[in-house]
Amino acid sequence: MIDQLKRACAIAKKDIRIYYKRGPVIIFGVLFPLFLFMAFMIGRDLPVDFLIAGLLGMTIFFTSTSITPVIAPTETQTRNLERLAACPISITTILLGDLLASVLFGIGISFVPILVGIAAGVTVTHPFILAVGIVLATFCFSAMGLIFSSTPTSMTSTVMMMSTMVKFPLVFISGIFIPVGELPQWGRMLASISPLTYITDLCRYSFQGTNYYPISIDIAALVIFMVVFMTTAVILHGKSLPERL
């Protein structure tokens, strides 16, 4: 177990060095949600803490899902996956390494909107809840990205197209632009199936002190989504690995 964990950390270090120092990460993980949110906030008289909470949720979501979908296709194309598969290492360990790299990056980037909010006068009234939410959300969304990368292809464009088709609808049904409590009944039902809804709710609670779901529900939902996503990713990658080699 310890040896596998060390190998997962080595894979995470490799991923950070190769994948997380490139321009697309900043564009799709930071600038894209920023510009999208600016388009929403311009001309609207909304509280700053409401805006920062939504921006933080979007940043965590897009950052944590920006690279994990393309690691497996890229390593299939460069034949690096063959070298990893030849090592005494399980597919779970490989995915855990990819997951850890994404989590560390997602947590690091999450400080950007938090610092922006503090500079704008926003107070983090529940820092512990916010920290727990960020950690769980980065694990959850990173595991979601691993599911996208399970398609047995070496074309990153194919994977990114699939992930975009899923991520964009989630943004608009997750209470980021309109609070869940103000959505119609069918909107609240859709919001409940999105993991982004629960981290947004935790961010709103941490900044504004208001939330739609109980905190225990938000945390439990993120944990459940994380376990389901990771389990699904391991199963799907186990089936697609022979087709990649």
**pLDDT confidence of residue 27:** 65
Calculate mean pLDDT across residues 117-146. 91
Which segment, 22-31, 67-76, 195-204, is predicted with the most confidence on average? 195-204
**pLDDT confidence of residue 231:** 94
Question: Are the CB atoms for 199 and 222 separated by under 8 Å?
Answer: yes
Q: Which residue has the higher pLDDT, 155 or 60?
A: 60
In the structure, what pLDDT confidence band is assigned to residue 130 with cuts at 50, 70 and 90? very high
pLDDT(50) > 80? yes
For 185-206, how does the pLDDT look when each residue is reduced to its tens digit (9 = 90+)? 988 999 999 999 999 999 999 9
Calculate mean pLDDT across residues 69-78. 78
For 158-192, how does the pLDDT look when each residue is reduced to its tens digit (9 = 90+)? 777 788 888 888 888 888 888 888 888 988 999 99
Question: What is the C-alpha separation between 102 and 186, in angstroms, rounded?
Answer: 33
**pLDDT confidence of residue 18:** 78
Give the chain's mean pLDDT: 83
Map tokens 């310890």 to a residue: 2
Q: Which residue has the higher pLDDT, 42 or 129?
A: 129
pLDDT(46) > 80? no
Question: What is the C-alpha separation between 201 and 210, in angstroms, rounded?
Answer: 8
For 210-224, how does the pLDDT look when each residue is reduced to its tens digit (9 = 90+)? 888 899 999 999 999
Map tokens 């070298």 to a residue: 83
Calculate mean pLDDT across residues 12-41. 71
**pLDDT confidence of residue 78:** 74
Question: Are the CB atoms for 238 and 91 separated by under 8 Å?
Answer: yes
Two structure tokens written together for 25: 């990460």
Rounded percentage of the chain residues whose pLDDT exceeds 70: 90
For 74-128, how does the pLDDT look when each residue is reduced to its tens digit (9 = 90+)? 777 777 777 776 677 788 888 888 899 889 888 988 888 888 888 888 888 999 9
Q: Residue 133, exposed/middle/buried by CB under 10 A (0-12, 13-18, 19+)?
A: buried
Alpha-carbon dihedral sign for residues 96, 242, 18, 146? negative
Q: How many other β-carbons are positioned within 10 Å of the β-carbon of residue 100? A: 20
